[in-house]
Amino acid sequence: MEVFTAGLMALTWKQMVMMIVGALLIYLAIAKEYEPTLLLPIGFGALMVNIPLSSAQETLDILFKAGILTELFPLLIFIGIGAMIDFTPLFKNPKLLLFGAAAQFGIFFTMCMASLCGFNLKEAASIGIIGAADGPTSIYVATKFAHNLLGPISVAAYSYMALVPIIQPPVIKLLTTQNERRIRMESHAKSVSKTALILFPIVLTFLAGIVAPVSVALIGFLMFGNLLRECGVLNKLSNAAQNELASIVTILLGITIASTMTAEKFLTPSTLLIIAMGLVAFIFDTAGGVLFAKFLNLFLKKGKKFNPMVGAAGISAFPMSARVIHNLGREADPFNYLLMHATSANVAGQIGSVIAGGLILSLVK
């Protein structure tokens, strides 16, 4: 009888709390469909590792050492993401690249705030990168700089990415008027040459590598995935990167992250503080993009102005943020079609977050 009750007797209230957290993530994934490919593996993994005397921890630790500590899983994910991204809309309106830079403001604000809260510089940089709204970049930087904080940073980054439809709309509505949300942006019908789309990932990797050599792995794997897409001779590999590779690595990444969500590691004041600062980073990224668009509008003629909401799509949560902005535009004006503009800003945000991560790795010693 003792064999069957040993696990129950060893159960602590902290483990129960973490299992409730895991169950909540599973609920959000299934019932609300908030990024289910990430939240469901993370939530189920959290359940497994917090069952007393669980044998799952040993297996997940092996995956953690093989895939996270070696930075293998995040980099493989970048290949899949790169293969999914179409840079054509961004080429048609390159001015939207500015929003990919402006919406990274939350990274540096949160980095300063974390330093004031007592975290050392490398830990603060790792916490700040949550604001990139880019899970693989957050994991990559945390692996380099703050091994001990990898669990809460990863969970915060992916959880807030999934909650973009909840986080962004109130911030955007607070900072914009109804008339601003109704602004229609002109479409750009000019064609983009195949040569330009092929050269772009090559040139960007070279330039980023020259400026910040430590960023080559981050930007290079992302751009390699995009080159598979655009070269036109490797469609089979491009499809595999977008589907099989991205799906398999996402499953492994999600459930492996959960190995760090044990009660004794996770339920600490510093962890709760990191999660709170991650939310602040997301809010300030959104606000930074909106306010930057409003600032640019001061110098633009009527008919040429940006819809300020598009600035909020400059975060890296691709393509969720673009869909949120489009839906908000349709809510204000049923005939306002912002999807392509928001997608362009969102793609710029993907590039911006990776470059921001590379710069932080270069500058923080």
Q: Is the pLDDT of residue 161 over 80?
A: no
- pLDDT at residue 248 in the model: 92
For residue 136, cis peptide bond before it (omega within 30 degrees of 0): no
Q: Give per-residue pLDDT as tens, 49-65.
A: 888 877 888 888 888 88
Query: Three-state SS for 246?
Result: helix
Q: Give per-residue pLDDT as tens, 188-202.
A: 656 778 898 999 999
Where would I find the beta strands (DSSP E) of the chain? none
Listed as own residue / partner, the contacts of 139-142 with beta carbons closer than 8 Å and 24 or more positions apart are 139/68, 139/71, 139/73, 139/74, 139/253, 139/257, 140/71, 140/74, 140/75, 140/217, 140/218, 140/357, 141/357, 141/360, 141/361
User: Sorting pLDDT into bands at 50, 70 and 90, what band is 280?
Assistant: confident
- pLDDT at residue 188 in the model: 63
Average pLDDT, the chain: 84
CA terminus-to-terminus distance, the chain = 56
Residue 166's nearest CA partner among 340, 338, 33 is: 33
Q: Is the pLDDT of residue 3 over 60?
A: no
Q: Is the pLDDT of residue 268 over 70?
A: yes
What's the rounded Cα separation, in Å, for the pair 62 and 58? 7
Q: Give per-residue pLDDT as tens, 240-261.
A: 999 999 899 988 988 888 888 8
What's the rounded Cα separation, in Å, for the pair 231 and 304? 34
Q: Is the pLDDT of residue 232 over 80?
A: yes
Q: Which two tokens stand for residue 253?
A: 């990444």
* pTM score of the predicted model: 0.82
Count the Cβ atoms, other than its own, within 10 Å of residue 3. 6
Q: Which two tokens stand for residue 263?
A: 């009660």
What's the rounded Cα separation, in Å, for the pair 236 and 105? 38
- pLDDT at residue 199 in the model: 93
Q: Give per-residue pLDDT as tens, 16-41.
A: 988 898 898 899 889 887 778 888 88
